[in-house]
Structure 1
Amino acid sequence: MSSHDIFIGEIIGTAVLILLGGGVCAAVTLKRSKARNAGWLAITFGWGFAVLTGAYISAPLSGAHLNPAVTLGLAIEGGTKWSDVPVYLGGQILGAMLGAVLVWLAYYGQFHAHLTDREIVGDAKSVEARESEAGPVLGVFSTGPEIRNVVQNLVTEIIATIVLVLAILTQGLNGDGKGLGVIGVLITALVVVGIGLSLGGPTGYAINPVRDLGPRIVHALLPLPNKGGSDWGYAWIPVVGPLIGGAIAGGIYNIAFA
């Protein structure tokens, strides 16, 4: 795979991942959406299908990493060249930001209806006073904890990402670096659903640094009325936790399976 193919493949695949994953969050969250209040099952399966679709599309070009934690785990395992890692990461963060913008465009009217409803945002002064906190639609873009405990939140993201990356390393990716096979894509998507159902409750299971960081940046930049803060005080956890988890999974694979 050339650097060009990797970069373009990761942009497209990650954009589709975030478009469909963020899209299900928007569908469940926003007022005037037909799927509003559909619940956690809809979100977990929506993210699983998002992984499935993004990976199928990008696999022929880049091997469908779509996640820096996966790229790091593969580099440690040896299936990905370290020189390709920056190319993967660059495509992933750009794709994540693009996908978040597409969610905003697809749900433009719903965002406006939600963020101009006094039941949702309260009065303007209270919104301005909470600029550093999570705004009322931040959950469409990024994750957040139900209980704000740094150690627990970090450990949860590490554990969940170890499960994801170890599952990919052991059956979802070829050791020659060619990426996900057809069955591997499906199994990985089901693993993501399983992680969401079992481990997603505490933090919303980012398990992917760019899945959280890219849309969080977009949330901070978009001209959304009464959007509140982007919760930057929490933002490092869904970045650092998955990277640690991916590195540990790569080490486990080398010790136990290589």
Structure 2
Amino acid sequence: MTGDMLTIFSEFLGTMILILLGDGVVAAVSLKKSKAEGAGWVAITMGWGAGVAMAVYISGFMGPAHLNPAVTLGMAMIGNLEWSMVIPFIIAQVAGAIVGAVLVWLTYLAHFRETTDQGAILGTFATAPEIYDTVSNVMSEVIGTFVLVFGIMAFGQNSFTDGLNPLVVGVLILSIGLSLGGSTGYAINPARDLGPRIAHAFLPLKNKGGSDWGYSWIPVVAPMLGAALAALLYMVII
């Protein structure tokens, strides 16, 4: 592969792994007759934090491992990524998220058949707020993504032992999930929500309901706004 193609592929592969492990832990906790059924929110946040770290380790040797359109936007705004790469990165990220969600479905195929709770099924793919309130939901996603993107930018100003950075990002995701994720499920990543929601819409899930498209714009738009605010503050400071 050429350099650009390899970098774009790394975004696809990394986001696929991210969703496979992240949505995988949600499926493990939420679906019937799973060994992890009922393990709870702490297990989910720990699984997502570890999943992010592993996805970055797996794909990071090929590219910057953004794995998130919001991070890609922020990095382009501060000059760490050419603007011409933004759209290819986002397309690769969303495509990787769709494939990752399909792999979760295949992994838990029998458990999806046993689960009748439509909310639990959708929740293994996409996020949803505990209380539907547009302003509150948008603010939650903006704040969570601001912390994520500004945190990643700040990490770039620190010196870590070689290979430690992905683990630190995973801890940041864990912290956001535990502290800020209780309202909307902390999408903080448009690809993480949109890709699996698309997969939910077309997969032949036995007991699925709607894909909640009325809410779907919030975990896409709000994280991009949070990332832009983080990048603006970073540019002012630096």
TM-score scaled to structure 2, two decimals?
Answer: 0.95
Report the counterpart of residue 221 of structure 1 in structure 2.
Answer: 202
The SS at the match of 2:115 is helix
Q: CA deviation at 1:184?
A: 1.7
Q: Are 1:6 and 1:87, in contact at CA under 8 Å, matched by a contact in 2? A: no
**Equivalent in the alignment of 2:146:** 162
Q: CA RMSD in A?
A: 1.4
Q: Distance in 2 between matches of 1:193 and 1:237?
A: 21
The residue correspondences of 1:34-183 to structure 2 (distance < 5 A) are: 34-115=35-116, 120=117, 135-172=119-156, 182-183=163-164
1:3–1:87 Cα contact (<8 Å) kept? no
Superposed CA offset, 1:73-125 (max 9, x none):
0001111110111121111011000000000000000000113xxxx46xxxx
Aligned residue identity for 2:62 = L
Distance 1:249 1:6, change over 3 A: same
- The code of the aligned residue for 2:128 comes to G
Within 2, Cα distance between the matches of 1:245 and 1:56?
A: 25
CA distance in 2, matches of 1:250, 1:73: 5
Runs of 4+ in 1 over 2 A off after TM superposition: none
Contact residue 172 and residue 187 of structure 1 kept, 8 A: no
Pair member with larger Rg: 1
| 1:249 has 2:230 as partner | yes
Q: 1:29-79 deviations in whole A, cap 9, x for unaligned?
A: 000100000000000000001101100111111210000000000001111
Consecutive unaligned residues of structure 1, counting only runs of 5 or more, are 122-134, 175-180
Q: Following the alignment from structure 1 to structure 2, what is the Cα–Cα distance between the partners of residues 150 and 3?
A: 38
- 1:250 maps to a residue whose letter is A
Provide the rounded CA distance (Å) in 2 between the counterparts of 1:43 and 1:22: 9
Amino acid at match of 1:35: A
Structure 2 spans left out of the alignment, 5+ residues:
none
Aligned to 1:2: 3
The Cα shift of 1:231 comes to 0.3
AA aligned opposite 2:7: I
Count of matched residue pairs: 234
Cα deviation, residue 136, structure 1: 3.9
Whether the 8 Å contact between 2:113 and 2:207 is mirrored in structure 1 is: no
- Rounded to whole Å, the distance in 1 between the matches of 2:80 and 2:36 is 40
**1:202-213 map, 5 Å:** 202-213=183-194
Identify the match of residue 195 of structure 1 among 151, 176, 193.
176
The code of the aligned residue for 2:127 comes to T
| Residues 115, 207 of structure 2: 8 Å contact kept | no
In structure 2, distance between residues paired with 1:173 and 1:30:
41
Distance in 1 between residues matched to 2:80 and 2:139, nearest whole Å: 26
Residue 172 of structure 1 and its aligned partner are, at CA, apart by 4.4
Q: Contact conserved, 1:96 with 1:210, CA < 8 A, in 2?
A: yes
Q: Distance in 2 between matches of 1:56 and 1:208?
A: 18
Find the aligned partners of 1:61 and 1:234 in 2 and give their Cα distance.
34
